[in-house]
A and B are shown apart, each in its own frame.
Chain A
Amino acid sequence: MTLPTFKGGVHPPDGKSLTEAKEIEIHQPIGDLVFPMSQHLGAPCSPIVKKGDRVLAGMKIADSDAFVSAPILSSVSGKVKDIGMRMTISGAMETCIVVENDGLFEHSSSLLPHSDYEALDPKEYIKIIREAGIVGMGGATFPTHVKLSPPPDRKIKWLIVNGAECEPFLNCDNRLMLEHPEPIIGGLEICMRLFPEAQGVIAIENNKPESIRRMEGELSERGSKIRVIPHEVKYPQGAEKMLIYSVTGQEIPPGALPADVGCIIFNVSTMEHIWLAVVQGIPVIERVLSVTGDVIANPKNISAPIGTCIRELIDAAGGFTEEPAKILSGGPMMGVSMRSIDVPTVKGTSGILALSAHSSLCPPESNCIRCGRCITGCPMGLVPTNLDKLVRIRDYAAFEQNGGMNCIECGCCTYACPAFRYLTQSCRDGKAGVMAARRREQAQKKG
């Protein structure tokens, strides 16, 4: 039987064996906790605490009036030590709240537990989800309450839980499905109460047979209508557009959103947090991440408070066996390479990956040999080698005309290129160039 999938894609070595059998360990933070004001897509938050205030775990410390935003909550109890500029994962300096951990882990949350959540008005769920600071925990960090509030004319037919975890090395979603299937299913059931006509689906790549069995077992025990759909193992199976295509057979038109084709997609960890927030009254104050890579001494899956210093987590995994060349937040295909490990984790940090020089550096670029591997790899049907040439001559108009703006930056083209050309990187440059040109045009119209 062939499993559902999409056209294109690549098969990078998955590196999952390093952590797939490691049970999630709880990490107790030692140092200060740092909370950047922008941990989500949308408007950044502003601090609502002052230096010197005592905060408790689960207490809101920053918020915004904007709809597309999500509050930030302290993950420990302690004193606000400082509010100021700190380096974040991207390497940029951002306003951060620094909390000195008093080690007491005193909890206080505005959220109430609702063991009788079925009696609750579904509209309440959205409020709770916002207050709990839930965003897309797969890494995209789009505020979940916004996702759950599609325009009324969009009829939602599918609620898809994304357990593909197609990024090599990462196992946080896999472990969560194995160890905590009930809250994931519970979270989906809560969402299904918001969209009673939608069907619930959990999509998992077929390289996680244990997780598939575990979720299926749990569902059949409950007599649930939710289906688990095993998918072919191929990167980027977990990309939103690819997953919607393989589950529903629909292609999202350029510029459209999943809701436009009747779908909402969530990461498994987002589902768990929805359940925790609604049923137990626990907001987003910690998350599971894989600390792994070929130079990590003892790769493991860790549940750590949001805001924990990444250096602490690397130490918890035994440190390095040899000098790392790159340290990434996220997986090797789409992760961000960090310039310092003295930066905090945020809501979207799904993994810390330390890679050696031989696994993460490549020889210099050479001429394109027109082998076509970038084209067969591109899940969006683009011709990356041509887009690359256009960007290098700064012809952004032609880049746009050739569909460059559809690039999802999955990295398949660069991964597959035998001439080691920086194709994804060129597309990123091209997209920025087009956006800059659009801004210039708008400014001229106004002026």
Chain B
Amino acid sequence: MNRLLVVASSPHIRANLSTQRIMALVMLSLVPAGAAGAYFLGVRSILVIAISIASCVAAEALWQKCTEQPITVSDLSAALTGLLLAYNLPPSIPLWMPVIGGFFAIIVVKQFFGGLGQNIMNPALAGRAMMLICWPVAMTTWTVHGVSGPTVLSLVKGADSLSEVTSRAAEAGQSFPTLIDALLGNMGGCLGETSAIALIAGGVFLVAFGIISWRIPVIYIATVAVLSVILGRAAGPVYEVLSGGLILGAFYMATDYATSPLTPKGQAIFAIGCGIIATLIRAYGGYPEGVSYSILIMNLTVPIIDRVTTPKIFGEVKKHGA
């Protein structure tokens, strides 16, 4: 023994799972959805993804450089934000827009609040919300293989029956997507949100590897499905679940660690809230789709949910902190 021994407080071993590895696994699980987007909606999707990731990483590095903080882009969290932001954009978007969106997401939404784990809203969703306000037309022009047209949810908006929905589709010169199309992603929408099957595969992968819990996605999606039936939405619960950004939002946005509750009970409350708000916006709001806003609104309730759902301390009879 030549070197001095390291003296430290226990425990002395760590699980083989770092923040970087978590982010990498989430990005990996998103690859099938991106591939489906590129296949059905056009290879331009890949360009949008690349620019969005590069902007977010550059924004984080630049901010940390200017504020003399250690540069932490290697933890991949900014890259993941970039990837998720891109998945929430139409493939036809002008390429300078994701640059602005990425800088806004990273600098204003994440770094202004203290960086990784400190932000109160999901950066990718907040970036998208900003872009939707600034460039409403570019952000809602949906193309499938270069042909633009309305999405399922905009066809369903205000319709009373499925036949009304399909006749609207015909008027727009489109066929209403079959359930198979909706499942595979062969329909209009943001470039990473359309392929339900690819997103569910990615989500199941994350649950299986213990990266996310099943709670938020399952409860969120179930709430939307049940509420769609209760409210009598025209296309029925299956289309409600498979179209729009629900699957992407439920598995990838609502499960963002930083902006979702810490405890299982809190996560259940959060997911139910997301489901209710998303369906209410779809049915009665000004937009055809409400997933993004439902998550952003529920993000703001996380501190209070955390406060009222602290776990019961072992051996204590009364609930603590409630």
Contact of B10 with A424 in the complex, beta carbons under 8 Å: yes
Residues 104-120 of chain B: 1 if any A CB is under 8 Å from the residue's CB, otherwise 0?
00000000000111100
Residues 371-393 of chain A: 1 if any B CB is under 8 Å from the residue's CB, otherwise 0?
11001001111110100000000
Chain A residues within 8 Å of B260, by CB: 370
A368 at the interface (CB under 8 A from B): yes
A415 at the interface (CB under 8 A from B): yes
Chain A residues within 8 Å of B301, by CB: none
B137 at the interface (CB under 8 A from A): no
A359 at the interface (CB under 8 A from B): yes
Distance of A418 Cα from B211 Cα, bound (Å): 11
Report the interface size for chain B: residues with CB under 8 A from the other chain: 42
Contact of B262 with A370 in the complex, beta carbons under 8 Å: yes
Chain B residues within 8 Å of A280, by CB: none
Distance of A1 Cα from B201 Cα, bound (Å): 31
Do A333 and B19 form a contact, CB below 8 Å, given A324-B1, A385-B262? no
B67 at the interface (CB under 8 A from A): no
Contact of A375 with B262 in the complex, beta carbons under 8 Å: yes
Do A254 and B316 form a contact, CB below 8 Å, given A337-B8, A424-B9? yes
CB closest residue in chain B, given A169: B13
Which B29-80 residues sit within 8 Å CB-CB of chain A? 72, 75, 77
CB closest residue in chain B, given A319: B1
Contact of B75 with A366 in the complex, beta carbons under 8 Å: yes
Which A407-427 residues sit within 8 Å CB-CB of chain B? 409, 411, 414-420, 422, 424-425
Q: How far is the CB of A271 from chain B (nearest CB, A)?
A: 26
Q: How far is the CB of B110 from chain A (nearest CB, A)?
A: 11
Chain A residues within 8 Å of B19, by CB: 366, 369, 418-419
Contact of B5 with A12 in the complex, beta carbons under 8 Å: no
Q: Which of A333, A366, A402, A409 has the most CB of B within 10 A?
A: A366
Residues 213-255 of chain A: 1 if any B CB is under 8 Å from the residue's CB, otherwise 0?
0000000000000000000000000000100010000011110
CB closest residue in chain A, given B16: A13
Residues 330-354 of chain A: 1 if any B CB is under 8 Å from the residue's CB, otherwise 0?
0011111111110000000000000
Chain A residues within 8 Å of B10, by CB: 328, 332-337, 409, 411, 424
Chain B residues within 8 Å of A380, by CB: 313-315
Which B254-273 residues sit within 8 Å CB-CB of chain A? 257-258, 260, 262-263
Contact of B118 with A367 in the complex, beta carbons under 8 Å: yes
Do A370 and B258 form a contact, CB below 8 Å, given A325-B6, A338-B7, A406-B313? yes
Q: Which of A254, A338, A370, A402 lies in contact with B315, CB distance below 8 A?
A: A254
Do A369 and B5 form a contact, CB below 8 Å, given A334-B10, A383-B262, A424-B10? no
Once A and B bind, how many residue pairs between them come within 8 Å at the CB atom? 156
B286 at the interface (CB under 8 A from A): no
Contact of A337 with B5 in the complex, beta carbons under 8 Å: yes
Q: Which of B7, B11, B317 lies in contact with A333, CB distance below 8 A?
A: B11
A91 at the interface (CB under 8 A from B): yes
B311 at the interface (CB under 8 A from A): yes
Distance of A218 Cα from B68 Cα, bound (Å): 68
Contact of B7 with A339 in the complex, beta carbons under 8 Å: yes
CB closest residue in chain B, given A420: B14
Q: Which of A325, A328, A369 has the most CB of B within 10 A?
A: A369
Chain B residues within 8 Å of A366, by CB: 19, 72, 75, 116
Q: Which of A323, A339, A414 has the most CB of B within 10 A?
A: A414
CB closest residue in chain B, given A408: B314
CB closest residue in chain A, given B267: A372
Chain A residues within 8 Å of B147, by CB: none
Determine the main DSSP class of B at the interface with A. loop
Distance of A91 Cα from B6 Cα, bound (Å): 12
Do A12 and B15 form a contact, CB below 8 Å, given A254-B313, A370-B117, A406-B315? yes
Q: Which of B12, B17, B118, B315 has the most CB of A within 10 A?
A: B12
Q: How far is the CB of B315 from chain A (nearest CB, A)?
A: 4
Q: How far is the CB of A401 from chain B (nearest CB, A)?
A: 8
A147 at the interface (CB under 8 A from B): no
A119 at the interface (CB under 8 A from B): no
Distance of A339 Cα from B5 Cα, bound (Å): 6
Distance of A91 Cα from B45 Cα, bound (Å): 61
Residues 301-322 of chain B: 1 if any A CB is under 8 Å from the residue's CB, otherwise 0?
0000000001111111100110
A29 at the interface (CB under 8 A from B): no
Q: How far is the CB of B243 from chain A (nearest CB, A)?
A: 30
Q: Which of A327, A333, A385 lies in contact with B5, CB distance below 8 A?
A: A327
Contact of A383 with B311 in the complex, beta carbons under 8 Å: yes
A151 at the interface (CB under 8 A from B): no
List 6 A–B pairs whose Cβ atoms lie within 8 Å, in order of A's numbering: A241-B315, A332-B10, A368-B117, A375-B311, A403-B316, A418-B15
Q: Chain A interface (Cβ within 8 Å of chain B)?
A: 7, 10, 12, 91, 168, 241, 245, 251-254, 256, 320, 323-328, 332-341, 355, 359-363, 366-372, 375, 378-383, 385, 402-403, 406, 409, 411, 414-420, 422, 424-425, 428
Report the 6 A-B pairs with minimum CB-CB distance, sorted nearest first.
A411-B11, A367-B116, A251-B315, A381-B311, A369-B117, A332-B13
Q: A337-B6, A417-B14 are in contact. List 11 more A-B contacts (CB 8 A).
A: A320-B1, A335-B10, A337-B7, A359-B13, A360-B13, A361-B6, A367-B117, A372-B262, A381-B314, A406-B315, A422-B9
